[in-house]
Amino acid sequence: MGYRYAAFATFPDRAAAQSAIVELSDFGLGAAKVKLFECRGESSQATILDGLMSNCTWAESDGRRGLRIGLGLGASLGAVSGVVIWTTLGMTAISGVTCGTFMGTLIGAVMSGIVGAGLVNPRLAAAVRALQIGQVLVSISCQSREEHHIARRLLRPGSIALASNRSVSAAS
């Protein structure tokens, strides 16, 4: 089973972030994937985002948005292409729309899965942009909804900003 849920929190310093991470294992979140990134300067935001995305989980990427975009574009472009090709071949337009939409949706789904895995989750990108020098970003990817709720409860008291990929972001 992969990581389906993620919570992102910023802490004022490394010590506060590490103490929150220690609490995670105490509450049974040993299987959660935890990443910690410290903002050391003006240019660290790009480095942090690159580091997160080089080894991201499904929860940290925005594959769902990529899938929606790919399916929509694939279906619409497939329908248009189907009409053009099928009418050029002298067949009915409705057959072209049907065949083109089907093939475009299949191709769109495959390609969007690949592209979507590389898209940054908007809440994660916002958390990275909000980092100030000296602050630390913690990303916790969980496998179940229960683990995700535990992670959010543990992070909330110590974090100055908290966001999740499955709910509205909250601040402490």
The values of phi and psi at residue 120, to 5°, are -80, 135
Q: What pLDDT digit, counting tens, does each position of 19-71 carry?
A: 878 877 777 776 778 888 888 887 787 788 777 776 666 666 666 677 777 77
Asked if 83 contacts 97 with a C-beta cutoff of 8 angstroms, the reply is yes
Contacts of 43 (CB under 8 A, 6+ apart): none
Give the tokens for residue 81.
């292409």
Q: Which of 58-62, 63-67, 123-127, 157-161 has the lowest mean pLDDT?
A: 157-161
Confidence bin at 171 (pLDDT 50/70/90)? very low
Tokens in use for 122? 């908007």
Same domain, 134 and 54: yes
In a domain, 88, yes or no: yes
Task: Determine phi and psi for 28, rounding to 5 degrees.
Answer: 85, 25
CATH number for the domain that contains residue 54: 3.30.70
Class of residue 163 by CB neighbours under 10 A (exposed 0-12, middle 13-18, buried 19+): buried
Provide the b/e sequence for 53-88 (b: ≥16 CB within 10 Å): beebbbbbbbbeebbebbbebbbeebbebbbeebee
Shared domain for 39 and 108, answered yes or no, is: no
Range of the domain at 134: 5-61+120-164
26 and 45 both lie in a single domain? yes
Task: Report if residue 70 sits inside a domain.
Answer: yes
> In this model, does residue 145 exceed pLDDT 50?
yes
Count structural domains, the chain.
2
